[in-house]
């Protein structure tokens, strides 16, 4: 069983940056696809990007393209989401997921509890 814990969320002003971390336990992430999603109130869960054993794939969605990057540190069993030039519309709960493939949330078996990101204008 994979346990995921997100950290790094908080309140930031528009234009600022945050780095979220997702640390896994119970299983090595070396051969796992790890993904980030976010969900704002009243909206569907949105794919933000993923990290595979061979490469990182930030989302190409206009909402995050060019501002969000993903990386992983296998030695720390941790995946990161670096968010730059944050906008108020980035406000959401950010979730880490593992054990799935691609950008579809229903395909991921393991989820963290989420971390709140709030961007003030």
Percent of the chain with pLDDT over 90: 79
- Distance from C-alpha of 62 to C-alpha of 48, rounded to nearest angstrom: 11
User: Each residue of 27-78: pLDDT tens digit?
Assistant: 888 888 999 999 999 999 999 999 988 888 888 888 899 999 999 999 999 9
The closest alpha carbon to 57, from 35, 88, 78, belongs to: 35
Strands 10-13, 56-58: pairing is: unpaired
Measured at the alpha carbon of residue 65, what is the angle toward residues 43 and 42, in degrees to the nearest 5?
Answer: 5
- Distance from C-alpha of 93 to C-alpha of 76, rounded to nearest angstrom: 23
Give the model's confidence band at 102: pLDDT under 50 very low, under 70 low, under 90 confident, else very high.
confident
According to DSSP, the residues that pair with 95 across neighbouring strands are 37
């Amino acid at each position: 069983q994979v346990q995921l814990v997100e950290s790094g969320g908080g309140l930031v002003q528009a234009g600022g940056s945050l780095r979220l971390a997702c640390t896994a336990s119970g299983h090595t992430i070396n051969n796992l696809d790890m993904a980030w999603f976010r969900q704002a109130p009243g909206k569907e869960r949105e794919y933000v990007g993923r990290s595979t054993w061979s490469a990182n794939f930030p989302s190409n969605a206009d909402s995050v393209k060019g501002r969000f990057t993903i990386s992983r540190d296998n030695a720390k069993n941790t995946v990161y989401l670096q968010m730059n030039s944050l906008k108020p519309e980035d406000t959401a709960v950010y979730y880490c997921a593992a054990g799935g493939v691609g950008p579809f949330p229903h395909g991921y078996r393991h989820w963290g509890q989420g971390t709140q990101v709030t961007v003030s204008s």
